[in-house]
Amino acid sequence: MADITLQNVVKRYGDGFPAVNDVSLDIADGEFMILVGPSGCGKSTLLRMIVGLEDITEGEVTIAGERVNEKAPKDRNLAMVFQNYALYPHLTVFENIAFPLRLRHQPDEEVRRKVEEAAETLELTEHLDRRPSNLSGGQRQRVAMGRAIVRDASAFLFDEPLSNLDAKLRGQMRTEILRLQRRLGITTVYVTHDQVEAMTLGDRVALLRRGELQQVAAPRALYEEPVNMFVAGFIGSPPMNFLPAVVEGGELRLPVVGFRPPDDVLARVGDRSRVMVGLRPERFTTVTGDGAGPDDVEFEAEVDVVEWLGNEQYAYLPYDEPEGADTTLEELERDLDSERLRSQLVVALDPADAIASGDRIRLRFDPRSMHVFDVETGENLTLGVG
């Protein structure tokens, strides 16, 4: 049980490239903290610095108020679950779980009691005599967790623990991890690139990009109030639509529609002539008769492709992108590990609506639900508005 503090932590490799750059983070006692970001953002490096497998170039890491920079991993009393589990193949499941206790020379009786208790929790009791090579992926995962919970570690660290499991098992193990953490109430740092894991597991989520911390917030805040375009684009699936907009005479001119935004939004835009407008796919609704809010913006567009998934439905609406808007977006797409295929709007529609590709549909959205970003810095201008 301990809180973990990172203060201006920097990791620089031999070539001077900062893999982690000036990250400060307070993880409260018992908190479930998620480190998330696209690959290469430094989240695993950060975790390995906490556990002691990577040296800290600058800054300070404290666990329970004690500086641990110079401590060897074994003296930090942290438990870690590795991405590929790192089970000891020459030992049985029992001995794998007992390994940390054996290293501390605990009496046999106590080892047995603790291991059996952990096995009970993780439903591994009937597998205790087997070897890791005879276990399924999910079972191996549980053994790795057993090795972590069997000792009274100050905190748990998970390094993408579910990425080697298939989708169905991943969902199960996710709830399992959450339940376990809630029950043990132990400080947990969890690294993932999967935003579903990030949103469902974390008390708070720390989003990293190129080694720099972008935002630390509860999942809901991250979703509803992203500080910049990167956060907005990373969180949410399908991702937020980014539409380049021209500001002209108090009007926002998007490729699909022009309208007069609420005054407080306009005030935030200031004298910028170009901004980026972010709209989540689910903020759009089809216009069927009346029922529009007073400020709602309506427009018409042609549907290119429809994806109907039963419980949801996505429509893709291409639009013509104005010249010169690409560079900001291109850079963003690169950071997000995705490729910018074409300029199109993704909207989530009521699956009950019968829409086919080629249809022209009328859509509307509430301009209060939109985010306006600075084109240069990507900063969210509409934070706290509305």
Partner 1 sequence: MEGRRTSHWWTVWGVLILAWAMFPLLWMVSLAFKSPETFRAGTPSFFPDEWTWENFQTVFDDELFTSALRNSFGIAIIATVLAVVVAMFAAYAIARLEFPGKRLLLSMALAIAMFPQAALVGPLFNMWRGLGIYDTWLGLIIPYLTFALPLSIWTMSAFFRQIPWEMEQAAQVDGATPWQAFRRVIVPLAAPGVFTTAILTFFFCWNEFLFAISLTSTDRARTVPAALSFFTGQSQFQSPVTAIMAASVVVTIPIVILVLVFQRRIVAGLTSGAVKG
Q: From the list 89, 289, 291, 310, which residue makes contact with partner 1 (rule: CB under 8 A)?
A: 89
Stretch that binds partner 1, among 15-23, 87-95, 363-371, 376-384 (CB under 8 A): 87-95
Stretch that binds partner 1, among 97-105, 168-176, 221-229, 318-326 (CB under 8 A): 97-105
Residues 6+ apart with CB under 8 A from 45: 11, 19, 20, 54, 211
Q: Is 105 in the site for partner 1 (CB under 8 A)?
A: no
Stretch that binds partner 1, among 67-75, 199-207, 211-219, 298-306 (CB under 8 A): 67-75
Helices assigned H by DSSP within the chain: 43-51, 93-103, 108-121, 137-149, 167-184, 195-201, 219-224, 229-234, 263-269, 326-335
Burial class (CB in 10 A: 0-12, 13-18, 19+), 150: buried
Stretch that binds partner 1, among 50-58, 181-189, 196-204, 321-329 (CB under 8 A): 50-58
Stretch that binds partner 1, among 24-32, 49-57, 218-226, 331-339 (CB under 8 A): 49-57
d(CA 115, CA 321): 61
**Least Cβ distance, residue 126 to partner 1 (angstroms):** 18
Q: Which is nearer to partner 1, 140 or 174 (CB)?
A: 140
Q: Is 86 in the site for partner 1 (CB under 8 A)?
A: yes
Q: Which is nearer to partner 1, 137 or 322 (CB)?
A: 137
**Least Cβ distance, residue 175 to partner 1 (angstroms):** 21
Closest CA relative to residue 147, chosen from 157, 162, 135, 137? 157
Helices assigned H by DSSP within 249-377: 263-269, 326-335
Q: Per CB under 8 A, which of residues 113..142 are in contact with partner 1?
A: 131-135, 137, 140
Q: From the list 65, 104, 271, 294, which residue makes contact with partner 1 (rule: CB under 8 A)?
A: 104
State how beta strands 32-36 and 187-192 pair.
Answer: parallel
**Least Cβ distance, residue 131 to partner 1 (angstroms):** 6
Q: Between the CA of residue 5 and those of 11, 182, 201, what are the distances in Å? A: 16, 21, 20
Q: Is 383 in the site for partner 1 (CB under 8 A)?
A: no
Q: Per CB under 8 A, which of residues 184..243 are in contact with partner 1?
A: none
Rg (CA), the chain: 25
H-run or E-run covering 66: strand 66-67
Q: Is 56 in the site for partner 1 (CB under 8 A)?
A: no
SS (H, E, C) 206-246: EEEECCEEEEEECHHHHHHCCCEHHHHHHCCCCCCEEEEEE
- Strand, helix or coil for residue 60: strand
Q: From the list 37, 38, 85, 189, which residue makes contact with partner 1 (rule: CB under 8 A)?
A: 85
What letter does residue 133 receive in the DSSP assignment? G
Site string for partner 1, 137-176 (x = CB under 8 A): x--x------x---x------------x------------
Residues that bind partner 1 (CB under 8 A): 51-53, 72-74, 77-80, 82, 84-90, 99-100, 103-104, 131-135, 137, 140, 147, 151, 164
